[in-house]
Structure 1
């Protein structure tokens, strides 16, 4: 009986501690996105990974967020580029809502600090990605791709937060876009899309920024089939 009372007390204390932590996270994220939720449970859900026990995860919100972000970006691009063909608009939309792009938006806005989960491997993956993104700053080409693969959880929370906002504003797409656009900046533009990535230049820029020396060695290979040298 005594053990049972002690055990229940510990659970109650842990629950209160977790509740206070989540309330602080909700408040912090509201400040980041510049929007105060009427239903804060929506944002709590948006920040909860499936690995976290006894809590509703962001899976359903992510489902909505994936679609609504695509639609919001589509509307923006349609209005911004009146003479661009559908194929190019599709490429622009894909670049703006890719896992790589959304994960970077999460990191650059500090949203990764508030994800509620119970998996150590997630911490390692996020930390590695955050370090990589820090090195990529000011490098235009990596707005929507880079050296380290983005953890999907980071893109998921951006989609989930967008969905939470969308539901909270009564499914008003215009209101959602006004609120969430700042999180998605910089928006990948047509000029960005047309700019061909230069991997070697990118490597020199990143190494120079971090005080590293890069030495590139070329190797020659002979192609037997075509009888020519491949560098």
Structure 2
């Protein structure tokens, strides 16, 4: 596995290769260590990185708005997008069963691995380097970071589009729910006039619906030349 390719994408080269290996090891791989501890650390680091960034970016924003903005960036959907930007799924250590279960594309696994990688960078190189890497990736994936853009309600936008062009509202169907009660993952399908346009997963039905709506909007923009 060419970790050097991942390091190039990150813009950071690990001195301790065991650390990045740990960050990429899913618990299903059944080794002595997995990435859950680094995920825990990376989650806290990302909270601080994004919180500090938004604090300086919006000096007049109230605490409530800042909290909503941070929640819009520090979540499974956002981290999954960042993980895919790094092609992180390619480098994961998974069990054969998880591999066969499309584990390299699972949002829960990808987002956790991204947090673990940030945690690993923080442990080895400190907060500033972790911040440099995380903010560069965030700005590339989210070129427009404004309250209007981040707090956009994709379900409302999609409903406006479907009512205008199809005369109906979209339907959100629960495709599956998996995982233990404390770590459920929901898969939602978005249907318009019984045609499925997109599927999305999330830690809550609401999160999955919002992501499904976002994906459907992207498809309709192309289909309807919006």
What TM-score, normalized by structure 2, do the two folds share?
A: 0.65
Q: 1:194 to 1:98 in 2, by over 3 A?
A: closer
Q: Which residue pairs with 2:219 in the alignment?
A: 206
For the 8 Å contact 1:33–1:182, the answer to whether it is kept is: no
Deviation >2 Å, runs of 4+: 119-127, 182-189, 193-197, 200-205
Gaps of 5+ in 1: 1-20, 130-149, 213-231
* 1: CA distance, partners of 2:40 / 2:218: 38
The one-character-per-residue Cα deviations of 1:169-190 (angstroms, maximum 9, x if unpaired) are: 1xx3222111222223334432
What residue is the counterpart of 1:175 in the other structure? 129
Asked if residue 28 in structure 1 is aligned to residue 5 in structure 2, the reply is: yes
Structure 2 alignment gaps of length 5 or more: 162-213
Pick the structure with greater CA Rg.
1
**Which residue, 52, 66, 80 being the options, matches 1:103?**
80
Q: 1 or 2 for the larger relative contact order (CA 8 Å, sep ≥6)?
A: 1
132, 135, 147: which is aligned to 1:190?
A: 147
Deviations 1:80-122 (A, max 9, x none): 0000000110111111110111011111221111111105345
Maintained 8 Å contact 2:94/2:103: no
Aligned residues: 165
Larger strand proportion of the pair: 2
Task: Give the C-alpha shift of residue 126 in structure 1.
Answer: 4.8
d(CA) in 2 for partners of 1:194, 1:117: 34
Aligned Cα root-mean-square deviation (Å):
2.3
